[in-house]
Each structure stands twice: as C-alpha cells, then as structure tokens.
C-alpha cells in the first residue's frame, strides 16, 4: 500500500511541474497583450488626434500655426493642383475653381460656396480654405454665384449650386459634401434637397448661416423678431443695406438709382467704411439722395421702415424659397450647424429656430460657440470651448471624407478640360 500511495502522490508532482512549465512558457503572453492593447489605444488616439489636427489646420489657416500644425502640413499633406474653368449650367456657363490633391486617387469632393462678397469665387478667405482642404486630401470645387457677388439673394444662385453639385457628383461618381458660409450657409440648405440633386449630397456644413430671410429682413430694419421661446433677437442690427441691392428700385425713384447704386457699391467695396467727403460717389449725390442713402442703410425713419416692410411682404415667397425654414421640418441629410453666440450678422435666435424645428432629428448637429465671430474663429474662448469647435469640425470632416459611390464602379479620376 505504501509504495502504491507513493506512486499516487508522485503523479500530482509531475502534473504540477507541467503546470509550472506552462505558466513559465505563457509568462510573456500577458505583457504582449498589454503591449498590444496599448498599441491599439495609441493607434486610436493618433487617429482621433489626426482628425483634430485636420480640423485645426483648416480653422487656423489664417493664424500663426503652432509647431505641431506646421510639422503636420510639411510631412503629411498633399501637393495641390489648381484649375479654373467653366461648366454648362441650367441658365448659362458657370465659372468654377478647383483645388485637387496630387496623387490621391478618387479624393472625396467638397463644394465650397461663397457668401455675399464682391470677389465671389476669387475671395481670398474661401480660396485659402479650399487650398488647405485640398492639402488634407479633399477635391475642392468653388463655384461663382453672380447674384451673391452683387450682394443679392436670388433663387438663380441656388440653381447654380445645384448645377455644380450635379456636375461634381457625375464627374467623381461620389456623393458630395456641401459647405456654405454666412449667406451661403443658409442658401445651401434648400439647394441640397432640390429634386435635380436628389441623392447627390452626403453632408452639409452651415457656418454662420441663417434660418429665415424674412426674419433677418425684419431684424435688419429693427423690427421686433423673437426666437422660439419668445425672446427678442439680441445684438446690434447691421442695418438693411445687406438686403437692399436687389430691391433698390422699390426704395428710391428711378432718377436717383445710379448715384445711390454707386454710393452703395463704394460702401461695400470698402468693407462698410463711410463715404469720405471728397469721394466722387458722394459729390454726385444731391441732398435728397444723401438722405435716401442714409435711410437705405439705417431705416431710421418710419417712412423707410414701412417701405422695407412692404418689400419684404411682396417678396416673402421668394425669400422663403431660399431659406432653410422651408425645408428643415423633414430633414434627412447629415447637417452640421456652427454659429457664434454673438454673431454680428445673424443673431443666435436663428439657430434656436433651427434647433426647435429639427428637435429629435439625429441627422442635425448644432454647436453655438463664443470662439466664432462670423464665419472665422478668433474670439476669446476657453480651451474647452475651442476643443468643442475642433471636435465638431473634425466630426463633419470625417463624414465628408467617407467615399460614398453613386454606383458600384468608381469613375476614372481626371482633371476637367479648361474653357
């Protein structure tokens, strides 16, 4: 019995040795798993930080960049090819500019739309943004909107936006991201859901845009306009001159229009500076025309305020048709709305209307920030507030960077012929 017992006890001893050997053999497995997990977290962190870096490069394009952004641009970005050409449009040729990343096959396209600026698609800020977006891998198309270049809000410009969306989608075979700033930030919203471009738009970015031009018109003449909670729009109205160009013949007699148009053109070309006493535009105006010019800018008198009200009433259907208010109640495309908490052009009450109309819609993302003034960043803000804007823009750029084919076969990627 004793010897048998001894043999029985010996077996566990051998098994124990095997288990110890097994444990010694598997010892590196745990550090490897830890190292693998850390590597995965590092990759995820780098991916996330890359998205933030990409957004930072775009937002800080006209500021002195930190070293990390300068290094990122030198090491990781694409060279860019520029072209300028025209395409056939519904109502005639459409002038366009394109920034294309060199040696990137099938870059995701973005249509970048300018607002009320005299230089149109040649505007320096818009082209800087376009170049930087191309350097991080996007194909950028900038159309020229003739009405907005003339400080007018017309449905004809919405038609041009649709022409460009359709052309870009057909040329690339992809759905298109659509970005609008200021007045175009509102105009792109109804443009994106027109039947002619159904299914061609994958995401919109509305930067400092509007909700209702009728609201804005009344706010500009200093009527009482309220947000969904009944609070009056805050801010100092910039005055109705922004909307006066296309309605000037309804605000002044025909014989006064040439001199008034020249004075308003000078004012806009000089970024809102007052006419100097010795300017030719001022010298040509009669005392009556000088007063008309002042009232067109300010609508201070009851007479001119009523003139503007009648204009807004006559053109309400046209203004509604080019306002997001006409389409947002049944919105289906991812929409990012970035706005300043103290926007000097479109008060934040406009965003509150967007928030109310789209409440519960997972496709709509809204951020109001003090870091934005109007379109551009640069106002005083905390690190957290800046991070929120960067993260918001990074999310939008991530959606914009996803290639979504209109058909199974990707098209041949070649630059357009210049005309």
Distances (CA, A) of 343 to 182, 201, 236, 338, 390: 10, 27, 10, 11, 18
Token output for 282 = 């001022």
What pairs with residue 136 in β-bridges?
Answer: none
Q: Which domains does the chain have, with CATH numbers?
A: 58-212+323-401 (3.40.50.1820), 237-318 (no CATH)
Residue 309 is encoded by which pair of tokens?
Answer: 């009200």
Q: Cα–Cα–Cα angle for 226, 230, 234, nearest 5°?
A: 45
Please give the model's pTM, rounded to 2 decimal places.
0.84
- CA 99, CA 129: separation in Å to the nearest integer? 10
pLDDT tens, 146-203? Answer: 999 888 889 999 999 999 999 999 999 999 999 999 999 999 999 999 999 999 999 9
The pLDDT tens digits for 307-333 are 999 999 999 999 999 999 999 999 999
Token match 């907005």: residue? Answer: 148
- Residue 176 near residue 109 (C-beta atoms within 8 A): yes
pLDDT single digits (tens) 86-132: 999 999 999 999 999 999 999 999 999 998 888 889 998 889 889 98
Dist. CA 205–CA 292, nearest whole Å: 38
Comparing C-alpha atoms, which of 370, 117, 343 is closest to residue 245?
A: 117
Among 323, 59, 60, residue whose Cα is nearest residue 185: 323
């Amino acid at each position: 019995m004793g010897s048998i017992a001894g043999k029985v006890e010996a077996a566990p001893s051998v098994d124990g040795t095997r288990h110890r050997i097994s444990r010694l053999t598997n010892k590196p497995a745990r550090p490897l798993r830890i190292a693998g997990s850390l590597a995965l977290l590092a990759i995820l962190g780098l991916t996330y930080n890359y998205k933030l870096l990409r957004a930072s490069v775009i937002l800080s394009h006209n500021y002195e960049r930190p070293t990390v952004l300068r290094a990122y641009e030198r090491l990781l970005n694409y060279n860019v090819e520029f072209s300028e050409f025209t395409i056939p449009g519904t109502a005639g040729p459409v002038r366009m500019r394109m920034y294309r990343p060199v040696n990137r096959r099938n870059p995701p396209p973005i249509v970048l739309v300018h607002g009320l600026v005299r230089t149109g698609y040649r505007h320096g800020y818009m082209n800087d943004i376009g170049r930087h977006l191309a350097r991080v891998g996007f194909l950028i198309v900038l159309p020229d909107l003739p009405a907005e270049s003339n400080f007018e809000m017309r449905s004809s410009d919405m038609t041009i936006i649709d022409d460009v969306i359709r052309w870009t989608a057909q040329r690339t075979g992809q759905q298109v991201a659509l970005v609008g700033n200021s007045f175009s930030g509102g105009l792109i919203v109804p443009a994106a859901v027109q039947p002619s471009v159904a299914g061609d738009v994958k995401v919109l970015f509305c930067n400092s845009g509007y909700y209702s031009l009728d609201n804005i018109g009344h706010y500009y003449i200093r009527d009482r306009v309220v947000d969904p909670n009944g609070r009056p729009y805050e801010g100092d109205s910039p005055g109705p001159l922004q909307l006066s160009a296309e309605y000037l013949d309804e605000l002044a007699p025909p014989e006064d229009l040439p001199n008034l148009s020249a004075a308003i053109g000078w004012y806009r070309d000089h970024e809102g500076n007052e006419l100097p006493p010795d300017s030719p535009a001022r010298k040509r105006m009669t005392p009556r025309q000088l007063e008309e010019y002042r009232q067109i800018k300010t609508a201070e008198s009851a007479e001119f305020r009523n003139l503007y009200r009648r204009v807004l009433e006559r053109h309400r259907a046209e203004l509604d048709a080019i306002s997001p208010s006409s389409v947002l109640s049944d919105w289906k495309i991812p929409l990012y709305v970035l706005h300043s908490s103290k926007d000097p052009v479109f008060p934040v009450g406009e965003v509150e209307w967007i928030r109310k109309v789209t409440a519960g819609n997972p496709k709509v993302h809204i951020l109001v920030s003090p870091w934005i003034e109007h379109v551009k960043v640069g106002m005083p803000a905390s690190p957290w507030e800046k991070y929120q804007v960067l993260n918001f823009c990074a999310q939008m750029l991530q959606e914009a960077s996803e290639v979504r084919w209109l058909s199974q076969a990707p098209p041949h990627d070649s630059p357009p012929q210049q005309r």
